[in-house]
Amino acid sequence: MVRFTIGRNELEDNRMGMSRRAVLGGFGLSAFGLAYPGLIPSPAGAQEPSGDPSKILKRHGFSTFGELGLPPDFSHLGYVRPDAPEGGEISIWSQGTFDSFNPYARVGRAPAVSVMPYESLLGDVADEVSAAYGLVAHEIEYPETQDWVIFHMRPEAMFSDGTPVTAADVVFSHNLLLEQGLPSYAQAVKALIPTAEVIDDHTVRFVFADGVPRKNLISQAGGVPIWSKAWYDKTGARLDESRFETSPGSGPYILDSWDVNRRIILKRNPDYWGRDLPIMRGRANFDTIRVEFFADTNAAFEAFKAGQYTFRQENSSITWATGYDFPALTRGEVVKEELPDGSMPSASGFVMNLRRPQFQDRRVRQALGMMYNFTWTNDTLQYGLFQQRQSFWQNTDLQAKGVPEGDELALLQEVADQIPPEILTEEVTVPPTSGDRQLDRRNLRAALALMEEAGYASDDRGQLMKDGQGLVVEFLTQDPQMDRYVIPYVDNLKALGVNATYRRVDPAQYTSRERAFDWDMIYDAYNNGPEEGIGLGQRFGSDAKEDIFNPAGFASPAVDHLIEKVVAATTQADMAAAVRAVDRILRYEQFMVPTWYLGKFWVSYWQGYGRPQTLPPYALGQLDFWWSDKT
């Protein structure tokens, strides 16, 4: 399900050993699990709402395409154990530091678990892409045209301080995001959802703007995290500030204690109002969730082996392949296993900052990409465990393949005057094939030819020069684990004649430079989804080229037009065709050097955890529907 993002901070960092959905935990929608805003379709490019405005629908949830998978009287989610034991602790790790518990502001570094205390009107699930079910709301009501939506809230919903969750809190939260949230969020939502109003204490209505597509608007309204208006009124706190004091939430967990940059403990609220709801049955099973923070991955792994924390989602191939030979594993006290991951891999790789002059020529970008050797990297450094990513929507029906045809071709023909003609007639761009040596000589020769076409020539030192200037590229990271991947790539670029350097900085400096776009290349990811909508604009729309969710600063009128088609799509097939067209253009532009993806979860944990035998396709769920067998 595609919705808006409200904040970023450390939320994109998966080194806590949990996926985005796992952090979301299914405890209602939150900023961590929401997708991205940014595109505001013009009325001229929008489809008129379809359907009968007098036909009112009442549902127990909402699905963008098709029907809900669960009936109104469902007793629990299909992938949970409804009678799972409650109690015990799960402890995980995170790399880096934190100086705030407010994940909705651009300032400060808030840990991912900061969003867990908060719920929304609708709750996400891990086995349906387009669906959300009533959580704080028990029923939604809307016309067939989806011009507005009414949420009927559960009167029993309570914040952790014992005060009721009311429609006034929902409207307050919505307005607070518009006033103090990210400007891109406020700009988009103000244009799409101009009215939120209280009907009574437990009924709230959102009215959508005329002339804009209706897709995702009900999901967006239902996905706003709900905060206590009374707390904000009393404290005078702001949403755009870094702070440790937080408003009470209505979720199953509350912040219990913390030691800055060392540890955070969340505890289950013993008075959690929703523990017997069908959507929550068999979930939020641990009494406490403990997060231990470490400066680097090596220290974190040594702590795991010593039992300082007990659940680890591995992200290092060398550790997975060679590190699991310690006594506790040999004695059977630690479990090591690979679990299926049906979610779409993030579009990760080395991102070029298109705001910099040295990356303006596509031939230069293409040449730089040719010097990354995936085959050698995977075989030599990653034990052959990974696959090479090609698409921004890898392993889904949104991935462009072969030569464009059918509806995808028709959409590309609409922007034919804005894109190179070969996009319409040639195979989709794929990464170059590399050999088993670090420096692939064939790719080196091809890259040199491209640089010559772009006007560069080698001087007597082998440095590429144009108009008396060399090609300077600095790689910026904060993670020592990236050394083994970046340094060989830098060496290959130097062999090409690029003045390439590698700088690793501390997390605070990295965050500051990343947000200011003070970098040439970084390792980053575009977190796309299997269902796209309005959010595609903040990642790839021209209006968002200075947005933190669009790290490359990519902008294209052709892609803007296609994003409007994605937003206006009323069927899965139409949406998929438009996204494939976008994927084809993004890959042609080669502003990101695609790297690797795994397609499975690597996990290890000390004995004492239980989980459903069959996991849902889109979540590992260790903080959600696993449990302790030691209770």
Tell me, yes or no, if the two domains 9-288+599-628 and 347-597 fold the same way: no
User: Average of pLDDT values for 176-193?
Assistant: 85
Q: Span 108-113, mean pLDDT? A: 88
C-alpha–C-alpha distance, residues 620 and 616, integer Å = 8
Name the E strands within 278-395. 288-294, 311-313, 334-340, 347-352, 387-388
Band of pLDDT at residue 40, cut at 50, 70 and 90: very low
Q: What is the mean pLDDT of residues 373-391?
A: 95
Q: Up-side HSE of residue 504: CA atoms within 13 Å toward CB?
A: 11
Q: Residue with structure tokens 């709900």?
A: 226
- Residue 49 — pLDDT band, cuts 50, 70, 90? low
On the question of pLDDT at 28 being above 60, the answer is no
Does the pLDDT at position 2 exceed 50? no
Determine the pLDDT at residue 215: 80
Q: What residues have CB less than 8 Å from 496, skipping those under 6 apart?
A: 367, 371, 444, 447, 448, 451, 464
Decide if domain 9-288+599-628 falls under CATH 2.130.10.10.
no
pLDDT band at 61 (very low <50, low <70, confident <90, very high): very high
The model's pLDDT over 289-326, given as tens digits with 9 standing for 90+, comes to 999 999 888 999 999 999 999 999 998 899 999 999 99
Report whether CATH 3.40.50.150 matches the domain 347-597.
no
CA distance to 99, 518, 555, 558, per residue, from 514 (Å): 17, 6, 19, 27
Confidence of residue 50 (pLDDT cuts 50, 70, 90): low
pLDDT of residue 11: 30
pLDDT over 50 at 127, yes or no:
yes
Closest by alpha carbon to 23, among 103, 142, 122? 103
Work out the percent of the chain whose per-residue pLDDT is above 90.
77
Show the beta-strand stretches assigned E in 26-105: 56-59, 61-63, 89-95
Instruction: Give the whole-angstrom CA distance, residue 134 versus residue 149.
Output: 13
Model confidence pLDDT, tens digit, residues 527-583: 898 889 878 998 999 998 998 889 999 999 999 999 999 988 888 899 999 999 999
Look at residue 158 in the predicted model and tell me its pLDDT: 98
Where are the chain's structural domains? 9-288+599-628, 347-597
Residue 35 scores a pLDDT above 90: no
Q: Please state the rounded mean pLDDT for residues 43-61.
A: 71
